[in-house]
Amino acid sequence: MACLLIILFLSPPSPNPSSGNPVQLFLDDAKVKNFITCFKDKQFLVFFFKQLKLNQSGRYEAAFPYLSPCGREQNFVRCDDLPIVFTHLLQGASGEELLSYCGGADKLAVPFQPEKLLMLPENGRLYHPGPEKAGGVGLVKSALAFELSPCFDYEQGPSQAPTHFHWRDRRHTLTNELLPFIRKDEGT
């Protein structure tokens, strides 16, 4: 039983909100990582990210914390932050709001839960619940986070985490329940 090992690297979105730089998936050993060398086939990317899960295989877990199996093939994945990156806010078929991730449009989407948004004041990154098997949390792309930023209230001051989020004529109290998922490696 041969097992093809493909090690992939997920590049982060650009910190510049106006750049439009999407999350990109590369072979880990690609010398140049840019739009030319990244995977672009949407059907492949949807399949890849639907299979993505925490790496509990007993192989390469420290170096590659995520795994996307494809039959006998094991695609080991590492990234700078999280592999799930929310890119667009969409309207679902029945009117519900969805957050789409990794460029998959409505094929890769979760219900938008504004009260569960989490912003870390130390780096300004914004997180939202994601697929459970991939760790339960995803990063919101910089451009989308920038669009959502005017909706936050900072009752404890601008250097602290936001406390509320205004969305669709409602003021949502932020739960911060994602904090343990984000800071699991820090022991907090």
Please answer whether residues 165 and 149 qualify as being in contact, where contact means their C-beta atoms are separated by less than 8 angstroms. Answer: no
Smallest CA-to-CA distance from 30 within 13, 9, 48, 61 is with 9
- Over residues 76-107, the pLDDT tens digits come to 888 888 999 999 999 988 999 999 998 888 99
- Over residues 137-187, the pLDDT tens digits come to 999 999 999 999 999 999 999 889 999 999 999 999 999 999 998 876 554
Task: Give me the chain's average pLDDT, please.
Answer: 83
CA 7, chain centre distance (Å): 19
Smallest CA-to-CA distance from 65 within 76, 51, 50 is with 76
Please answer whether residues 105 and 88 qualify as being in contact, where contact means their C-beta atoms are separated by less than 8 angstroms. Answer: yes
DSSP for 51-65? Answer: H-EE--SSSSTTT--
Percent of the chain with pLDDT over 90: 53
The 10 Å Cβ neighbour count of residue 1 is 3
pLDDT of residue 73: 85
The 10 Å Cβ neighbour count of residue 88 is 16
- For the residues 47-60, what does the mean pLDDT come to? 92
pLDDT of residue 61: 93
Q: Is 131 helix (H, G, I), strand (E, B) or coil?
A: coil
